[in-house]
Chains A and B, each alone.
Chain A
Amino acid sequence: MSDLDQHDDIHDLLVGAPAPRLHYDLDATLRTGQRIRARRRLAAAGGGVVGLAAAATALALVLPGTPSASVAPAGPSLSGSVSTSPSPSASVSTRATTQCFPDDSSAGRTPWLTATAPGVLPTGGAVTVTAEILSGCSTNVLAQSESAEGKGATEVTLGLTERPTTASWIVANAAVLILPKGQRPCGYSFADSLPAGVTVTRGEWDVVVQPIDTSLLNKAASSGTVDICKGDSVVTRDLPQISEHDLGAKTDRAGAPATCDLDELGTAQDSARTWARHTVPAYLGKADVAVEVRAHPGAGCTGEGVTEGPLSPTDPTAGVLLEVDVPEVPTAAFWDFVHAGDQLVAAFFLPAGQDVCDVDFSGTELTGRQNLADATDIALDSGWTLQLQPLPDTNRSLELRARVCTPSGVVTPSLAPLSAG
């Protein structure tokens, strides 16, 4: 039997073996994915001032053909204003809360540098890098488009919320590094080495463009880091891309995270203070539902994060945990969702004397008045009430609004879930 025959046998074995019924839930991906996107917008907006202190905060990658869109200011809905300590390096006094897009004419743009690396792509095309400083935007923006010059020539436009002071880099069709003059890339997590590429000096900065083999692009873009050296010394090890700040709440030089992404903060924040924690065993007979509300002042968070995950990291059937970041002293009602098995549940946090008097479904695909099952009220030590309210399933849960009342009238007529921003 030839080696090929043996391989074919194994292929037949793997393809033909009976398998159990396997299910993938597309709706769950869309639902959770939309929550994550919303949360990131929320974190990026809420962490605006903090983010300005970092070399780079978040980056929205917009590919050619992506229509422009304007995202409404997404401040934390539980507190009308966010107070953050002014950063010594913050160069603006107003809080930027708008996520901008490359062709967004509302963003104030100040040209910073432009550099062209001719013939750097494997196709022989050039990469032109244009960096500009945006005002009024909470996130950095990358636009990448093909140039009319042909040969795959690419134009990369970086809109930065502030002028960088240290090295930064991104993966477009090539590695694009903006480095203080004299620094150079000296190590890569996704490759042993890269071709030297082209270095263009602009004032006190070097723009380095290095081609990346297409087989490495996914790896580079998804998790790539670079080491930066000056002379024989490593200046920065494992520098994440600008986009990683969006995904990972990486810590900036001052020790504050670029965003308040609770997925990333997890329990690593020693300074986090628990404001409320409660577990309802076997809620509705479906799953344990736990809520943990914490303030993360040491991380620079001021009430702008929310995430949902398994109660146990090793046992996905153990239940669900809703984590919420709050200001140090919450003053107004807030709420978000949690999924007890397949049951959508609202978790309302209500100050003493307040109650949810209505849930508005008009923004969802559900029509008519919805009959809600009985809610479960849990008294918290703080005097607040946690109210768990089963909701009918909807693909537009972020559009739900709660009306909060006291016996004497409406306190908040339309309260959005935290995830909705």
Chain B
Amino acid sequence: MAGRHDDEFAEFATGASPRLLRTAWLICGNATQAEDLVQSAMLKVYVRWGWLRGRQPMAYARRCILNDHIDTHRRRRRETTVSVLPEGEHHDREPEDTDAIVRLLATLPTRERQVVVMRHYAGLTEAEVADLLDVSVGTVKSSASRGLARLREALAAQELKEGHHV
């Protein structure tokens, strides 16, 4: 039952997945959820591979990840009353040093976090991020600006805290 372009898809998936996994992890802050987001995105890419293979499957996969993340985030917000970001839950699986960046990014609202990761990790242009997130370039600029400012504040606070501990 293998598809007609499975080898081609497999090559794409193998090459793209590490970067997509890290992107998803930076956005959601949770390793398990990141894996789920990428797994789900890749499935969507696979079933549309006939169309995507000659186009931009990476962009499509990123869009799926972001959309799914927003959906999941909204759903969890509706279903839970805790005020803490669910992204901050993942403390038991990895050493604490992997939590540092997650804690920093968790200080940003979802949109700012997505913009910062897409701009400064994935390396997309403002126009590409705007298209991906379905917002204006102006919104990307302001979100990036506010996000970076918050991130720097959080970074400084973290360094200060670590300094006090030394």
A interface with B by C-beta (< 8 Å):
6-7, 10-11, 13-15, 17-26, 28-30, 32-34, 36-38, 61-63, 66-67, 69, 215-219, 221-222, 313-314, 316, 396, 398-399, 420
Asked whether A420 lies within 8 Å of B1 as measured between CB atoms, the reply is yes
Asked whether A10 lies within 8 Å of B120 as measured between CB atoms, the reply is yes
Asked whether B46 lies within 8 Å of A62 as measured between CB atoms, the reply is no
Q: Please provide the 10 A-B residue pairs with the shortest distance between their CB atoms, ordered closest to farther.
A: A17-B101, A33-B46, A20-B94, A24-B17, A22-B21, A14-B121, A20-B31, A10-B120, A398-B1, A29-B42
Q: Would you give 13 A-B contacts (Cβ < 8 Å), ordered by A?
A: A6-B148, A13-B155, A18-B95, A18-B98, A22-B31, A24-B17, A24-B21, A24-B38, A24-B42, A26-B13, A63-B50, A63-B53, A67-B4
Q: Shortest CB–CB separation between residue B104 and chain A, in angstroms? A: 8
Closest to A22 in B: B21
In angstroms, Cα B6 to Cα A141, docked, is: 21
Does chain A have a CB within 8 A of B97? yes
Give every chain A residue within 8 A of B120 (Cβ-Cβ): 7, 10-11, 14
Asked whether B3 lies within 8 Å of A22 as measured between CB atoms, the reply is no
Does chain A have a CB within 8 A of B146? no
Closest to B79 in A: A314
Closest to B130 in A: A215
In the complex, which of the residues A26, A216, A218 contacts B10, with contact meaning CB atoms closer than 8 Å?
A26
In angstroms, Cα B96 to Cα A176, docked, is: 53
In angstroms, Cα B60 to Cα A277, docked, is: 37
Give every chain B residue within 8 A of A219 (Cβ-Cβ): 63, 131, 134
Closest to A60 in B: B50
- A36-B43, A67-B4 given as contacts; is B131 within 8 A of A22 (CB)? no
Does chain A have a CB within 8 A of B68? no
Beyond A22-B31, A62-B50, A69-B4, 16 additional pairs, beta carbon < 8 A: A7-B120, A18-B100, A18-B101, A22-B21, A24-B20, A26-B13, A30-B2, A30-B10, A33-B47, A37-B3, A63-B54, A67-B4, A216-B131, A222-B48, A398-B1, A420-B1
- A14-B26, A20-B98 given as contacts; is B121 within 8 A of A33 (CB)? no
Closest to B90 in A: A20
Chain B residues numbered 97-138 whose CB sits less than 8 Å from any CB in chain A: 97-98, 100-101, 104, 116-117, 119-121, 123, 127-128, 131, 134
Q: Shortest CB–CB separation between residue A141 and chain B, in angstroms? A: 12
B interface with A by C-beta (< 8 Å):
1-4, 6, 9-10, 13-14, 17-18, 20-22, 25-26, 31, 34-36, 38-39, 42-43, 46-48, 50-56, 59-60, 63, 75-76, 79, 90, 93-95, 97-98, 100-101, 104, 116-117, 119-121, 123, 127-128, 131, 134, 148, 151-152, 155
Give every chain A residue within 8 A of B35 (Cβ-Cβ): 22-24
Give every chain A residue within 8 A of B53 (Cβ-Cβ): 63
In angstroms, Cα B126 to Cα A215, docked, is: 13
In angstroms, Cα B125 to Cα A215, docked, is: 12
Give every chain B residue within 8 A of A61 (Cβ-Cβ): 50-51
In angstroms, Cα B95 to Cα A218, docked, is: 39
Asked whether A19 lies within 8 Å of B51 as measured between CB atoms, the reply is no
Asked whether A222 lies within 8 Å of B39 as measured between CB atoms, the reply is no
Asked whether A10 lies within 8 Å of B116 as measured between CB atoms, the reply is yes
In angstroms, Cα B63 to Cα A129, docked, is: 30
Asked whether B131 lies within 8 Å of A215 as measured between CB atoms, the reply is yes
Asked whether B97 lies within 8 Å of A18 as measured between CB atoms, the reply is yes
Q: Shortest CB–CB separation between residue A25 and chain B, in angstroms? A: 6
Q: Shortest CB–CB separation between residue B141 and chain A, in angstroms? A: 12
Asked whether B101 lies within 8 Å of A13 as measured between CB atoms, the reply is yes
In angstroms, Cα B9 to Cα A26, docked, is: 10
Asked whether A218 lies within 8 Å of B56 as measured between CB atoms, the reply is yes
In angstroms, Cα B127 to Cα A316, docked, is: 35
Asked whether B38 lies within 8 Å of A38 as measured between CB atoms, the reply is no
Q: Shortest CB–CB separation between residue B118 and chain A, in angstroms? A: 10
Closest to B13 in A: A26
In angstroms, Cα B31 to Cα A66, docked, is: 37
In angstroms, Cα B68 to Cα A323, docked, is: 23
Asked whether B26 lies within 8 Å of A218 as measured between CB atoms, the reply is no
In the complex, which of the residues B3, B38, B43, B76 contacts A32, with contact meaning CB atoms closer than 8 Å?
B43
Give every chain B residue within 8 A of A18 (Cβ-Cβ): 95, 97-98, 100-101
In the complex, which of the residues A21, A63, A215, A217 contacts B127, with contact meaning CB atoms closer than 8 Å?
A215
Give every chain B residue within 8 A of A69 (Cβ-Cβ): 4
Asked whether B25 lies within 8 Å of A19 as measured between CB atoms, the reply is yes
Give every chain A residue within 8 A of B13 (Cβ-Cβ): 24, 26, 29
In the complex, which of the residues B4, B14, B36, B100 contacts A26, with contact meaning CB atoms closer than 8 Å?
B14
In angstroms, Cα B42 to Cα A26, docked, is: 8
- A218-B55, A219-B63 given as contacts; is B6 within 8 A of A30 (CB)? yes
Asked whether A218 lies within 8 Å of B25 as measured between CB atoms, the reply is no
Closest to B100 in A: A17
Give every chain A residue within 8 A of B59 (Cβ-Cβ): 218
Give every chain B residue within 8 A of A398 (Cβ-Cβ): 1
Q: Shortest CB–CB separation between residue B159 and chain A, in angstroms? A: 12
In angstroms, Cα B14 to Cα A11, docked, is: 23
Asked whether B98 lies within 8 Å of A19 as measured between CB atoms, the reply is yes
Asked whether B46 lies within 8 Å of A29 as measured between CB atoms, the reply is yes
Asked whether A14 lies within 8 Å of B101 as measured between CB atoms, the reply is yes
In angstroms, Cα B93 to Cα A202, docked, is: 64
